[in-house]
Amino acid sequence: MPSLSKFLTDVRGLSEKEADWLQHLVGDWNLVSDLLRSDLVLWIQTLEGAQAVAHCRPATGSTVYYEDPVGIVLDEDTDSEIPALLNGAEPTRRPSTIEREGREASGLLVPVRKDGRTLAVLATESPVHDGMRSANEIHQHDLGSRVLRMLEAGAFPIEGAPIPPRRGAPRVGDGVVELDGGGVVQWASPNALSAFHRFGIEGSMEGITLAELSTEVLQSRSPVDESLPLVLMGRAAWRSDMQARGGTLSLRAVPLTERGERTGAIILVRDVTELRRRERELITKDATIREVHHRVKNNLQTVAALLRMQSRRMTSDEAREAVNEAMRRVSTIALVHESLLQGSEEAVHFDEVIDRCLRLAVDAASASVHREGTPRLTENQVEVRTEKIGRVGTIRAEEATPLALVVTELATNAVEHGLSDCGGTLTVRSERTGSHLVITIEDDGDGMGMAKPTGLGTNIALTLVQGQLGGTLTWESRPEGGTRALVEVYLDPLSI
């Protein structure tokens, strides 16, 4: 099924601003659906006829649709007001009895207008009530009807009123408070009353300004959001948190207008105490993890520096080379922990690690080579160029450390055994499809011929690929000369 944006793209004569308006409406129309306890269906005029392009089910009542109506097309001969309304006709503004999937329902059609032009038609459809509505349902329905009138007048959704992207956004089912133009409480739903009572507001709230009631229970030592007074008075379409008695209420204000004048507001309220507590715990945990990675990185770099100093005191070339290899491996692990410091989660952007592994491999692999762009220390040094093709993306920290060691070992082997005498190009190719990752490390040097790779670095790479990553590592000779090492693994998915 195409998305709303795809439907809107195919509508001729609909400007980008008008399409954004409809997208904004669909992004916020759950407020109307929950207040009216109705399904909402958005209809627009297409070349095929009136077409349903979006649907919303209420969270506060039962739905009349078992099947999603998106994609249904009505021609002009259909017994419905929708085509006429899309062509500019005036609505009847009276509910009508309709049938939805074998059941009787009540339907109301409202034109969606912007700057006096009808862009779409909103159909509200709800089950027929057998008995009397409760006072709570009547109040919510009246508030929903006022929002529908704003919709018809082009005043809803409220333009230029972004909602801060914080979790725990309140909805109608969490609690609703109705304010008049002066911010005085006219009515509060039972859930809203319970939420405010838990925060110290006792007795009835009606007839008192919400700002006055809230000021009495605000924590004086806690910082107060600058937008909170505007939200409590219903003067701005915004969201804000209010802290009291060690808890937190999330408040959202939706000003109500008629003929451009503010006549009141809807305040949605939700107790988000536990949610905010968990968010604070996550922030603390994230800071602790960052500090751990920072200290581990520093300790590993200290170990690498000590090994470097020790290698300079070695009189045996074999011992010096062994210490240098240990220093390079410790430095590679430190690279992963340094990368974890850059992100906000336990994941590594591995392409940056590859770049640094290549530099480390060439600089520390052999005294007979120098990396392209760096000065030549002796006249006999040959130049090694590095090239990275493709992207790995983000991987889990548990996989980044062994994979970085494997890339460094294979790159070091390529430089030492393939490029140390003649120089050339060291290339790393990455191909990732979902969880399947293939990394190829190749050089255009002398090649390994019929010899099989051996040595400590080879054994380390094989052990890490097969044991920790559950993959395969193979070598082959390149037809054009040189050696190619192929690493193939299946990564675990990142947890969001």
In one-letter notation, the amino acid at residue 73 is V
* Predicted confidence (pLDDT) per residue in 327-381, tens digit: 776 776 666 666 655 554 567 788 888 887 787 777 766 666 667 767 766 677 7
At residue 150, the pLDDT reads: 94
Q: Percent of the chain beyond pLDDT 70?
A: 83
* Predicted confidence (pLDDT) per residue in 398-444, tens digit: 888 788 888 888 888 888 777 777 878 888 899 988 889 999 988 88
pLDDT band at 115 (very low <50, low <70, confident <90, very high): confident
Which part of the chain has CATH 3.30.565.10? 276-490
| CATH number for the domain running over 4-153 | 3.30.450.280
In DSSP terms, which residues pair with 265 in a beta bridge? 179, 255
Closest CA to 360 of 297, 310, 404: 404
Q: What is the SS3 assignment for 440?
A: strand
* Predicted confidence (pLDDT) per residue in 287-338, tens digit: 666 666 667 767 777 877 777 777 777 777 778 777 776 777 677 666 666 6
Which part of the chain has CATH 3.30.450.20? 172-271
User: Any idea which fold 172-271 has?
Assistant: Beta-Lactamase (3.30.450)
- What's the whole-model pTM score? 0.62
Question: 106 burial class (0-12, 13-18, 19+ CB within 10 angstroms)?
Answer: middle
User: Any idea which fold 276-490 has?
Assistant: Heat Shock Protein 90 (3.30.565)
Which part of the chain has CATH 3.30.450.280? 4-153
**How far is Cα 483 from Cα 361, in angstroms, rounded to an integer?**
16
* Predicted confidence (pLDDT) per residue in 76-103, tens digit: 666 678 888 888 888 888 888 888 877 8
At residue 268, the pLDDT reads: 93
Q: What is the SS3 assignment for 51?
A: strand
User: Which residues, 6 or more positions from 153, have their beta carbon under 8 angstroms from its beta carbon?
Assistant: 113, 257, 258, 259
